[in-house]
Amino acid sequence: MSLLVVGSVALDSVQTPFGSNADALGGSAVFFGSAACLLHPVQMVGVVGNDYPFDQLERLAARGIDLTGVTRMDGESFRWKGKYSYDLQNRETLDTRLGVFAAFEPRIPEAFRDARYVFLGNIDPALQLSVLDQIRKPALVACDTMNYWIHGKRDELLELLRHIDVLMVNDGEARELSGDWNIYRAARWILEHGPRMAVIKQGVYGAVLVDRDRVFYIPAFPLEEVFDPTGAGDAFAGGFMGHIARTGDVSTENLRRAMVYGSAMGSFAVERFSIDRFHEIGPAEVTARVRAFADLVRFDVEPEMELAE
Amino acid sequence: MSLLVVGSVALDSVQTPFGSNADALGGSAVFFGSAACLLHPVQMVGVVGNDYPFDQLERLAARGIDLTGVTRMDGESFRWKGKYSYDLQNRETLDTRLGVFAAFEPRIPEAFRDARYVFLGNIDPALQLSVLDQIRKPALVACDTMNYWIHGKRDELLELLRHIDVLMVNDGEARELSGDWNIYRAARWILEHGPRMAVIKQGVYGAVLVDRDRVFYIPAFPLEEVFDPTGAGDAFAGGFMGHIARTGDVSTENLRRAMVYGSAMGSFAVERFSIDRFHEIGPAEVTARVRAFADLVRFDVEPEMELAE
């Protein structure tokens, strides 16, 4: 039931109204792995420069992340620097230095090629396709993307959609991709282009899981303190895929539960800078938060069905 | 178990990307009543000019709305004209003519003064207080307001908060009132100023019910076609209060169910112009939509609690 993630391994410098940090662990594969490894072992594929604080990555290895697929190259690591608005709802990129990430060509180690569950973090869709070519028989492939690829590599992205099971994007990306503001019509557009499921993340408003027949809505966890939204979407993906890999069940009912684990992990991610919160928590905290989600949306309609015509 | 609403009875002219209408029934009391009367009889208090299409109001009377408290005055009815953005997420007021509404001083008919459930639509908080002075022993009072009063009549609004059970506002209003962007902190601020419950509506993202101990989240119904958002908040209030009045139960569990009826009625409101959708539906449609909400958020976490430490 192995779980593979391919994505960026970066160093983030983030300014929020509550503080700032510099060169902290970030990137889609790191946030995904930090969350997913609380649920299931993770195989990670990425690239870092020889300036990367590999000792900090080793802390993740101790939590069940196999770093065999993280290549060290001569050069600088991928760095992103951003600043959030007062309400954390918008962010401005101050600097992006791709470094060795610009030359990233994912090579999946032989030991990872039997991965059953695969998450393709936000990288060039041509590279995402090349990863799938290297995986023998995945049971479920989920994929993220971004506006840069939606506009710049649309043909490759449309080809990729024909080969994945779940497209997991935020609402803005779903709108750009489909050309439709309504996220439910956008989800239908996605389903018509290949995936059997669309997960559309809406930040503080939660996320929806849409398949051909049904819609499932999971709110974001009600937090009075949000510290740094960076990586929340990838942590969501980590919770989602980690749950699926742990249970080995790709039924719709189980994907609904996976959404809850996703939203739980997204909520942990935003409580601290970088992946710091994931170092503080274990199964007890995860279980408590998932139970809290059950209370958050629970209601009983059965006694109320006596409306007379 | 009588249910009273006091609010505006207006004529709306609305432009959306999908069409426009002119001088159609609108106003908080009308949207509230149109939704609530599907669940429970409604007593309405408001004022109209002698140009109001009273025959159209009579159609509501036939559905269980007592119009005894709707006064006809010499002069023009309250008219609002607005235009929505392409995505229906923003609207511009093109014209507001208060007409006789400017002189509205709610007089509650003697027969309405024993009302158990009271909704104070968005009017001057001084007038909302005067309504409460006329009600003998309400079991639950809910109240709406708007930015105009939050800034212009803050003292009166704060006094009002000490006398109501539920403040029901949208997220922007909750932020303006509390001075806090985070809606859960804003809700806490509201609870510290009197009400035992805060309902914060978030448009297409649903609504939250917050009390001192717990949070309940109900999404908006996943609609692929939204036609006209006007009145959705008041229809939500109508569903919420209609359910409470019908069941005569103000427990937290029942207020959660009331949120579902609220979100259901809000979703009907936006499917047509004005109150048109409410003329098309009956208990069967309401029940079906409430059941659909149950499926929208349903998941079972119990089998998934075996995370080992």
* Secondary structure of residue B287 in the 3-state scheme: helix
**Cβ contact B174:B168 at 8 Å:** no
8 Å CB contact of B205 and A206: yes
pTM of the model: 0.95
Mean pLDDT of chain A: 95
pLDDT in tens, B123-178: 999 999 999 999 999 999 999 999 999 999 999 999 999 999 999 999 999 999 99
pLDDT at residue B303, rounded to an integer? 53
pLDDT at residue B7, rounded to an integer? 98
pLDDT at residue B1, rounded to an integer? 75
pLDDT at residue B302, rounded to an integer? 61
Average pLDDT over residues B95-118: 96
8 Å CB contact of A184 and B222: yes
Average pLDDT over residues A268-283: 96
d(CA A79, CA B111): 70
Gap from A24 CA to chain B (nearest CA, Å):
26
Residue A23 per-residue DSSP state: S
| A182 at B interface, C-beta within 8 A | yes
d(CA A223, CA A271): 9
Q: Which of residues 134 through 163 in chain A touch B, CB cutoff 8 A?
A: none
Would you say residue B301 has pLDDT above 90?
A: no
Please state the length of chain B.
309
Q: Measured between CB atoms, which of B219, B256, B287 is closest to A299?
A: B256
Gap from B71 CA to chain A (nearest CA, Å):
31
Closest to B220 (Cα-Cα) out of B231, B208, B230, B237: B208
Would you say residue A309 has pLDDT above 50?
A: no
Strand B117-120's sheet: what is its strand order? B65-73, B42-49, B3-6, B117-120, B140-143, B166-170, B197-201, B207-210, B215-218
Q: In terms of CA atoms, which chain A residue is nearest residue B182?
A: A224
How far are the Cα atoms of A303, B129, B132, B133 from residue B161, in angstroms, in the given order?
Answer: 32, 9, 12, 14
Would you say residue A302 has pLDDT above 80?
A: no
How far are the Cα atoms of A303, B5, B134 from residue B240, in angstroms, in the given order?
Answer: 16, 12, 23
Which chain A residues are within 8 Å of B181, Cβ to Cβ? 86-87
What number of other Cβ atoms are within 10 A of residue A22's Cβ? Answer: 11
pLDDT at residue B244, rounded to an integer? 97
Select the residue from B205, B214, B246 to test the A interface by mutation, using most A Cβ atoms within 10 A: B205
Tokens for B142, please give them: 């809910």
Percent of chain B scoring above 70 in pLDDT: 97
Name residue B15's beta-bridge partners.
Answer: B20, B83
User: Beta strands B166-170 and B19-20: pairing type?
Assistant: unpaired
Write out the E strands in chain A: 3-6, 10-16, 19-20, 24-26, 42-49, 65-73, 78-84, 91-97, 117-120, 140-143, 166-170, 197-201, 207-210, 215-218
Please name the residue that has the structure tokens 């159209």: B56
User: Beta strands B19-20 and B78-84: pairing type?
Assistant: unpaired
Q: What angle do CA A302, A306, B1 make, to 5 degrees?
A: 110
pLDDT in tens, A65-113: 999 999 999 999 999 999 999 889 899 999 999 999 999 999 999 999 9
d(CA B189, CA B180): 9
As a whole number of Å, the end-to-end CA separation of chain A is 52
8 Å CB contact of A215 and B296: yes
Q: Note the Cα A236 to chain centre separation in Å.
A: 5
Q: Phi/psi of residue B93, each to 5°?
A: -85, 120
d(CA B148, CA B157): 11
ipTM of this complex: 0.94
Mean pLDDT of chain B: 95
Split at pLDDT 50, 70, 90, the class of B309 is very low
8 Å CB contact of B86 and A308: no
**Cβ contact B286:B39 at 8 Å:** yes
Split at pLDDT 50, 70, 90, the class of A305 is low
Category of B23 on φ-ψ map: left (φ > 0), alpha (ψ -120 to 50) or beta: left
pLDDT at residue A279, rounded to an integer? 95
pLDDT at residue A160, rounded to an integer? 98
Give B172: exposed, middle or buried? Use CB within 10 Å, 0-12, 13-18, 19+: middle
Residue with the bigger pLDDT between B33 and A308: it is B33
pLDDT in tens, B36-74: 999 999 999 999 999 999 999 999 999 999 999 999 999
Gap from B304 CA to chain A (nearest CA, Å):
8
pLDDT at residue B307, rounded to an integer? 64
Please name the residue that has the structure tokens 């930015």: B147
Select the residue from A212, A307, A309 to test the B interface by mutation, using most B Cβ atoms within 10 A: A307
Q: Measured between CB atoms, which of B287, B297, B301 is closest to A290?
A: B301
* Secondary structure of residue A108 in the 3-state scheme: coil
Strand A140-143's sheet: what is its strand order? A65-73, A42-49, A3-6, A117-120, A140-143, A166-170, A197-201, A207-210, A215-218
Q: Write the DSSP string, B14-61.
A: EEETTEE-SSEEESHHHHHHHHHTTTS-EEEEEEEETTS-HHHHHHHH
As a whole number of Å, the end-to-end CA separation of chain B is 52
Average pLDDT over residues B2-13: 97
| B90 at A interface, C-beta within 8 A | no
Would you say residue A206 has pLDDT above 70?
A: yes
Q: Who contacts B213 (Cβ-Cβ below 8 Å, separation ≥6)?
A: none
